[in-house]
Structures are given as structure tokens and as C-alpha cells.
């Protein structure tokens, strides 16, 4: 059965590595629903979070291939239940609509969103949350005509107390030291 999986990859920060990672998805015809790449807590190490909607069997084999890439330190996957995750969305609405009624203000308060910038022409609203939540706010705001909308890829953190990577790097050093 297909479901959402979050693939986390820790890698060296090298040119072309994103391509080397994504071709593994392309080759198996697996769509990437969301992709975030940025510097991790450890200097020089990048962290990818990739969301796919697939069967666990396919994801397990895919992650096996990703883990094998020479410049990948570690790849693993989690279900949504195993992680805490968020996305961020920005909405641009006409400032007139804000003046005409208090509805937008109510929506923003209810959704726990915040207003980032108000100009004569437009107002920018920001909300973090799961996709369903940012989508719900979009639909509400769109009654007033959302001028622009953008949503980020997912960021996620495991429910483990520590970053797995630091433990992993220690283990890896021990392993590399032990192999003659």
C-alpha cells in the first residue's frame, strides 16, 4: 500500500550530488512530492528531506540505493508518525480586503499565522504547518483573491533525542578504523 514516507539523507556538500540522488527516483519512476536541501548541524554535511508517496518495499530498496552513493553518509526513511515536520507558506493578499472587513484578521489569528508586511497594495501572511493546514488557509484567503502563494518543501526532525548523524559518524569512524 502506498503511503507518505520521509527520506532523510545526510551527504557531503558536493556539486552534482543532488542529481546523483534524484536519478535514483527517476529511474524507478518515483515522484518526489517535496524536497528540501540545506546545511545540517554538522559543518560540511548537507541534509536532504524528500517526501514520496510509495509502498514501503519500494522505499526500502530506493533508500538502499541512495545509501550506497559514495558521497552519501547515511540515508534512512520514516513514516509521518515517526517525525515532527512542518512546511512554511507565504500568501500575498490585497491590502484593501484587509481594510474592508475583519475576516482576514480572524483567519490569520485562528490559523496561528502572522502578518509579515503590509503595503498599500498588498499584505504578506506567513503560516507554518502541515500541507493540509497551509492549504486550508489558502482556500479561505482565496475568497479575497490571493495574489501570490508559495509553499516550501517539508522539513522534519526525528523524535530521537539526538541527531542520528553524530552517533552515526562516531560508529562510522570506528568501522573504518576496524577494517584492515
Partner 1 sequence: MATKKVTGSQAVILSLLEEGVDTIFGYPGGAIMPIYDALYDFDQQVTHILTRHEQGAVHAAEGYAKVTGRAGVCFATSGPGATNLITGIADAMIDSIPLVCITGQVASPLLGTDAFQESDVVGISMPITKWNYQITDADEIPEAIAKAFYIATTGRPGPVLLDIAKDAQFQELDFEYKKCTKIRSYIRDYQIDPFSVKAAADLIDAAKKPFLLFGQGVIIANAEAELKTFIEKTGIPAAWTLLGLSALPSDHPLNVGMLGMHGNYGPNVKTNEADLIIAVGMRFDDRVTGKVSAYAKNAKIIHLEIDPAEIGKIVKTDVAVLGNAKKSLAMLIDNVKENKHESWLQEFRECDKIEYKKVISKDIYPEKGGLTMGEAVRIASEKTNNEAILVTDVGQHQMVAARYFKFKHSKSIVTSGGLGTMGYGIPAAMGAQLGAKNRTVVAFVGDGGFQMTLQELGTIVQNKLPVKIVLLNNNFLGMVRQWQQLFFEKRYSFTELQNPDFIMITNGFGMAAHKVTKREELEAGIQKMLDHNGPYLLEVVVEKEDNVFPMVPSGASVSDVILEA
What is the DSSP pairing of strand 45-54 with strand 122-129? unpaired
Candidate list 1, 41, 162, 176; residue touching partner 1; CB under 8 A: 176
Q: Give the shortest CB-50-to-partner 1 separation in angstroms.
A: 17
Residue 169 in the binding site for partner 1 (CB under 8 A): yes
Burial of 68 (0-12, 13-18, 19+ CB in 10 A): exposed
Question: Of the two residues 61 and 114, which places its CB atom closer to partner 1 in the complex?
Answer: 61
First to last CA, the chain: 43
Torsion on CA atoms 76, 77, 82, 86, rounded to nearest 10: 100
Question: Of the two residues 29 and 120, which places its CB atom closer to partner 1 in the complex?
Answer: 29
Candidate list 19, 41, 119, 150; residue touching partner 1; CB under 8 A: 19
Residues at the site binding partner 1, with contacts judged by CB under 8 A = 11-12, 15-16, 19-20, 23, 27, 60-61, 64-65, 67-68, 70-73, 169, 172-173, 175-176, 178-179
Amino acid at each position: 500500500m502506498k503511503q507518505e514516507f520521509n527520506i532523510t539523507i545526510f551527504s557531503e556538500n558536493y556539486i552534482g550530488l543532488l542529481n546523483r540522488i534524484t536519478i535514483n527516483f527517476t529511474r524507478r519512476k518515483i515522484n518526489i512530492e517535496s524536497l528540501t536541501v540545506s546545511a545540517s548541524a554538522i559543518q560540511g554535511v548537507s541534509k536532504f528531506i524528500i517526501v514520496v508517496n510509495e509502498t514501503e518495499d519500494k522505499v526500502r530498496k530506493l533508500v538502499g540505493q541512495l545509501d550506497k552513493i559514495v558521497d552519501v553518509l547515511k540515508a534512512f526513511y520514516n513514516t509521518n508518525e515517526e517525525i515532527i515536520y512542518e512546511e512554511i507558506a507565504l500568501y500575498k493578499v490585497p491590502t484593501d480586503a484587509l481594510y474592508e472587513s475583519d475576516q482576514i484578521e480572524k483567519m490569520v489569528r485562528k490559523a496561528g499565522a502572522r502578518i509579515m508586511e503590509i503595503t498599500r497594495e498588498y499584505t504578506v501572511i506567513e503560516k507554518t504547518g502541515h500541507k493540509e493546514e497551509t492549504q486550508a488557509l489558502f482556500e479561505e484567503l482565496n475568497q479575497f483573491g490571493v495574489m501570490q502563494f508559495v509553499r516550501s518543501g517539508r522539513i522534519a526532525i526525528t523524535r530521537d533525542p539526538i541527531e542520528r548523524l553524530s552517533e552515526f559518524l562516531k560508529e562510522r569512524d570506528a568501522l573504518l578504523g576496524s577494517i584492515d
